[in-house]
Amino acid sequence: MGHKDDPQTKVPTSAILTLAILAALELGGKHNKALALAKELRLFSHIPSPSRWNVALRLTNRRLHRAKVYLLPLLHLLSQVWKRLHTAQSYALDTFPLPVCENIRAPRSRLAPGKVYRGYIPSKRVYFHGYKLHLLVDDGKFVHEVNLTPGSLHDLVSLLLLPLDLPQGAELYLDRGYESHLYEDLLREAQGVVPMVIHRRNSRRYVPWLQYLAIVGRRVVETVGSMLHHLFPRRIHAVTPEGFVLKVFLFVLAHNLRLIAQKIA
Distance CA 176, CA 245 (A): 26
Question: Considering only CA atoms, which of 67, 73, 77, 80 is closest in space to residue 14?
Answer: 67
Q: What is the pLDDT of residue 4?
A: 85
209 and 89, same structural domain?
A: yes
93 and 30, same structural domain?
A: no
30 and 129, same structural domain?
A: no
Distance CA 133, CA 112 (A): 14
84 and 49, same structural domain?
A: no
Residue 6 lies in a domain: no
Q: What is the pLDDT of residue 48?
A: 66
Residue 7 lies in a domain: no
Range(s) of the domain holding residue 127:
72-264
Rounded to two decimals, the pTM is 0.91
* Interhelix angle 241-264/219-231, nearest 10 degrees: 110
Mean pLDDT along residues 93-106:
92
Number of domains in the chain: 2
Residue 4 lies in a domain: no
Helices (H), ranges, 152-240: 157-161, 181-190, 208-217, 219-231
For residue 101, what is the enclosing H or E element? strand 90-101
Helix (H, G, I), strand (E, B) or coil at 88: coil
DSSP β-bridge partners for residue 126: 121
Q: Of 49, 71, 93, which residue is a domain's last?
A: 71
Q: What is the pLDDT of residue 10?
A: 80
User: Sorting pLDDT into bands at 50, 70 and 90, what band is 238?
Assistant: confident
Residue positions counted in the chain = 265
76 and 50, same structural domain?
A: no
Question: Considering only CA atoms, which of 171, 188, 112 is closest in space to residue 136?
Answer: 171
Mean pLDDT for all residues in the chain? 88
